[in-house]
Structure 1
Amino acid sequence: MEEKKKRPQDRWDEKAGMISKTYKVNKKVAEEFQVACKEKGIAMGVQLTNMMKEFIENNK
């Protein structure tokens, strides 16, 4: 059986320590978050990371 080849993006993600996560959230909230991020010109993943870091720092 052939081993799946890694795409350049997969190699970059691994090197940068990036992973995919799946969460269930309220659809309306997720859609509003997407619109707000788009209006501010910030990637959703970047904003989520910033909010997660802030939450961690506030709860140490």
Structure 2
Amino acid sequence: MAKPQTIATRKYEAKAGWVSKSYKLKKDVVEAYADACAKVGVSAAGQLTKMMQGFIAEVEKTE
């Protein structure tokens, strides 16, 4: 059975609209990306979000 904190976290994430996705990527790309994020002091998830939003905006311009 899940711990109360785990249940509370899952409930918050669902309410706030957070989802977990899994992608298969080459190990060297993932490691280089993590290193690049660390070098400039940004979170990998935050940078990935910015890149995704930029791509979405780019695609929407062409529609």
Task: Provide the TM-score with structure 2 as the length reference.
Answer: 0.75
Aligned to 1:20: 20
* TM-superposition CA deviations, 1:19-49 (whole Å, max 9, x none): 1100011111100000011111111111111
More helix by share: 2
Q: Please give the root-mean-square deviation of Cα atoms over the aligned residues, in Å.
A: 1.8
Using the TM superposition, give the Cα deviation of residue 12 of structure 1 relative to its aligned residue in structure 2, in angstroms.
3.0
How many residue pairs get aligned? The number is 58
Unaligned runs of 5+ in 2: none
1:1-60 aligned at under 5 Å gives the runs 4=2, 7=6, 8-60=8-60
